[in-house]
Amino acid sequence: MERWLTPLDIRLLARLSTTPNVVRAARALGIPRDRAVYRLARLRRLYGDPVVAGRRGGTTPGESRLTTLGRRLLRDAREDRHAPRGNRWGGVYRAGTSPTVDLGGGRTLEVSFRAGDGARVEVAVDPGTIVVARHRVELSARNALLATVRSIEVRGAQRAELRALWNGLVVRVEITPGSIRRLALVPGTRVYLYVKAVSIRHVATRGSPRS
């Protein structure tokens, strides 16, 4: 399951803020009503609370107005320009007891999904699932990426984006300003980025396994 708002989610919330009816909002976006309902249900599962509160129509059309959570998500997305962008990379899948994806340049990620050995795959990692540490620590995450902080952008009281270079590859991390201060992070700081294998999503297969 995706762990951040998609552009469609943001457009749907924005439409519902001015057109408080799921059917009409879906029609305006050119998508089926069922798809809009699915996206709203997904957000409820993801955040633990509904993003819309509805009432049935009767003699008037039913309404689906944004809840406090829905309004906050929409506001944050607008202020944040869709929040930190996700990490999305292509590589070669290597099957085995501990399957990996070889991204090239000496960069390898242990993963939990299955694909054909030698297949070219595309993977994505949510910036919010990456743990940052100044030193090597014992965690359940299989991937410990030694990287260098490249830039830090504070996006509000509770949100910031850190960009780090891992063997030349930019990795985006969602972090809090408090954590930045606690870890004394500045550009040039060497850090470990911990990524669980289950957090690496298989989003596409670009080629057949090599024979």
Q: How many CB atoms lie within 10 A of CB 16?
A: 25
Q: Residue 58's domain is classified under what CATH number? A: 1.10.10.10
- pLDDT of the chain along its 211 residues, tens only? 334 567 788 889 999 999 999 999 999 999 999 999 999 998 888 778 899 997 654 444 568 889 998 998 888 767 555 444 579 999 999 998 999 999 999 999 999 999 999 999 999 999 989 999 999 998 889 999 999 999 998 877 778 899 999 999 999 999 999 999 999 999 999 999 999 999 999 988 876 665 4
Q: Are 182 and 91 in contact (CB under 8 A)?
A: no
Which position has the token pair 């919010």? 128
Are 65 and 97 in a shared domain?
A: no
DSSP state of 37: H
pTM given for the model: 0.60
Are 57 and 130 in a shared domain?
A: no
Is position 172 within any domain?
yes
Are 93 and 19 in a shared domain?
A: no
Domain extent at residue 116: 87-205
Are 70 and 159 in a shared domain?
A: no
